[in-house]
C-alpha cells in the first residue's frame, strides 16, 4: 500500500513551503528516517524523513514548486530495503569473511546526506567515522577532497541522469550573443525582500551615526585572547563586547527594546538579541535568548554555533523567531558605513562597520549606525543610546566588571 510523503507542520505562521532538492529518486531504497527531500520555508530549510523503510515510488512535486502544509509531495512503497551485495561479494572473493554491515545499516546524518547529494555520491562510496558508524558531513568532505587530489581516470563513468529534473534556469539569448538567465527567487530571498519593504512602509525609519575608538577593546582582546581560547576553546571576538554593551544601553533606554503593537507600546524586561549572520542561502538573524544572562564566552559560543548551523541550513525555526533588538556587522565584508534596516516589529538595529586607522591620533576607529523607528524613539534617545554604546566600548573593562 502506498505511503504518503506529506509536508509536515513547520511553524505556527508558515502554511506553504518550497520543495528543494530531492535526495532520493524514484526506485531508490530508503530506510526509515532517511532524509528524502528538503523543504524550504522563508526562514529555514526543513528535512522530510522517510516515515517507513521501502522504495520511492512516485514524486508528485518537483524541485522549485510550492506546496502547502499537509500536501502529499510523493509516495513510497513500504517493504524491505534492498541491500547491496557488492561489498560482501568482494570480501568473499578476497578470502575474507563477509562480515560487513549492509548499506542500509549505515546511519547517514542529515548534513552528510546533503553533502552526498551535492557531490553526486552514494553513501556506500564514503567511509564513516562518526560514533556508532554514523556518516558525518566531514567524512564526505574528506572523501571529495581526496578524490580531487587523485589524478583523473582515463575515462570517467557517465553519471546517471537524475530521476527528477531540477527547476533549470531559463536562458534567453539575444543578438550579439548576450544572455539572460531567469531563475525563481528562493522562498528565503522572497521573504527577505518582503520584510525589507515592510520595514520601510510601516515604520518611520531614521538613522543616527557615531564613531567609536576600538583601541581599548583591541588591547583587551590581545591581552586575554590566549587565556580565553585556552579556557573556552573559542576566540574572544568583537561581537560579544557589542552584545553586552547593547544590553546595558537597552536597559537605560527601554523604548529601543520595545515594539509598537497597534495603538500600544510593548516594553520588554528581557533582551533577545538577534545577530545577523551569513547563511547558506542568504542573511539570517538567529537570536540569543536572554542575552542579559550570558557572559562573554557564552555569547561567543552561541554565535559560533548559530553561524555554523546557518551555513549548513540547519537552523531551527524557533532560533530565528522573536528578537527584541538586532546587531549586524557589515564590517566583516568591508563596509565603511551603511544604514541598516529594521527587522520588524523591532524598533532598533545597530550596525557595526570596519575598523580603520584614522588620523586623529592614529586610532582604530569604527563607525556605528543606529536605525530606529521614529514613531517610538525620539532622536535624543537614539543619540544617547548610541553614545552609551560608544562609552562602554571605549571602556571595555567596565563591561567585564559589570557583565
The alpha carbon dihedral of 7, 11, 15, 17 has a sign of negative
Torsional class of 176: left (φ above 0), alpha (ψ -120 to 50), beta (otherwise):
left
d(CA 285, CA 323): 9
Based on the residue annotation, tell me whether 374 is a catalytic residue of this protein: yes
Burial class for 258, CB neighbours closer than 10 Å (0-12, 13-18, 19+) = buried
d(CA 359, CA 146): 49
Neighbours of 121 (CB within 10 A): 16
d(CA 24, CA 75): 12
d(CA 3, CA 154): 44
Based on the residue annotation, tell me whether 117 is a catalytic residue of this protein: no
Among candidate residues 125, 226, 378, 395, the one labeled active-site is 378
C-alpha cell at 3: 505511503
d(CA 29, CA 32): 10
d(CA 2, CA 91): 36
3-state secondary structure of 46: strand
What lies within 8 Å, CB to CB, of 43 at 6+ separation is 11, 14, 188, 191, 284, 315, 317, 320, 321
d(CA 286, CA 129): 30
d(CA 209, CA 389): 12
3-state secondary structure of 83: coil
Q: Provide long-range contacts, Cβ within 8 A and 24+ apart, for 395-398.
A: 395/216, 396/216, 396/217, 396/220, 396/241, 397/216, 397/220
d(CA 349, CA 255): 12
Among candidate residues 33, 71, 117, 374, the one labeled active-site is 374
d(CA 30, CA 55): 6
Query: Which of the residues are catalytic?
Result: 374, 378
Amino acid at each position: 500500500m502506498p505511503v504518503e510523503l506529506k509536508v509536515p507542520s513547520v511553524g505556527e505562521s508558515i502554511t506553504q513551503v518550497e520543495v528543494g532538492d530531492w535526495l532520493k529518486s524514484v526506485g531508490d531504497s530508503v530506510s526509515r528516517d532517511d532524509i528524502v527531500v528538503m523543504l524550504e520555508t522563508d526562514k529555514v530549510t526543513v528535512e522530510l524523513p522517510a516515515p517507513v523503510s521501502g522504495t520511492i515510488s512516485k514524486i508528485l512535486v518537483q524541485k522549485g514548486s510550492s506546496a502547502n502544509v499537509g500536501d502529499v509531495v510523493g509516495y513510497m512503497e513500504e517493504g524491505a530495503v534492498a541491500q547491496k551485495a557488492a561489498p560482501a561479494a568482494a570480501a568473499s572473493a578476497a578470502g575474507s569473511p563477509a562480515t560487513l554491515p549492509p548499506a542500509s545499516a549505515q546511519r547517514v546524518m542529515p548534513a552528510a546526506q546533503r553533502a552526498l547529494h551535492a557531490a553526486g555520491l552514494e553513501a556506500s562510496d564514503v567511509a564513516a567515522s562518526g560514533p556508532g558508524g554514523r556518516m558525518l558531513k566531514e567524512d564526505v568532505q574528506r572523501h571529495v577532497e581526496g578524490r580531487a587530489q587523485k589524478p583523473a581516470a582515463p575515462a570517467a563513468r557517465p553519471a546517471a541522469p537524475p530521476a527528477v529534473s531540477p527547476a533549470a534556469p531559463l536562458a534567453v539569448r539575444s543578438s550579439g550573443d548576450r544572455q539572460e538567465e531567469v531563475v525563481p527567487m528562493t522562498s528565503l530571498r522572497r521573504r527577505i525582500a518582503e520584510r525589507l519593504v515592510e520595514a520601510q512602509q510601516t515604520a518611520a525609519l531614521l538613522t543616527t551615526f557615531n564613531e567609536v575608538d576600538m583601541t581599548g577593546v583591541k588591547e583587551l582582546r590581545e591581552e586575554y585572547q590566549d587565556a580565553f581560547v585556552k579556557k573556552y576553546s573559542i576566540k574572544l571576538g568583537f561581537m560579544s563586547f557589542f552584545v553586552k554593551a547593547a544590553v546595558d544601553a537597552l536597559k537605560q533606554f527601554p523604548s529601543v527594546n520595545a515594539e509598537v503593537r497597534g495603538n500600544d507600546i510593548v516594553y520588554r524586561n528581557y533582551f533577545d538579541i538577534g545577530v545577523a549572520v551569513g547563511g547558506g542561502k542568504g542573511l539570517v538573524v538567529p537570536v540569543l535568548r536572554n542575552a542579559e544572562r550570558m557572559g562573554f564566552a557564552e555569547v561567543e559560543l552561541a554565535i559560533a554555533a548559530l553561524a555554523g548551523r546557518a551555513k549548513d541550513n540547519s537552523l531551527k525555526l524557533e532560533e530565528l523567531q522573536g528578537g527584541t533588538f538586532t546587531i549586524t556587522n557589515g564590517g566583516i565584508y568591508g563596509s565603511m558605513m551603511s544604514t541598516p534596516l529594521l527587522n520588524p516589529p523591532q524598533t532598533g538595529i545597530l550596525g557595526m562597520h570596519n575598523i580603520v586607522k584614522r588620523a586623529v591620533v592614529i586610532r582604530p576607529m569604527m563607525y556605528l549606525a543606529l536605525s530606529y523607528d521614529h514613531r517610538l524613539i525620539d532622536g535624543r534617545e537614539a543619540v544617547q543610546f548610541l553614545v552609551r554604546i560608544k562609552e562602554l566600548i571605549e571602556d571595555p573593562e567596565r563591561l567585564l566588571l559589570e557583565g
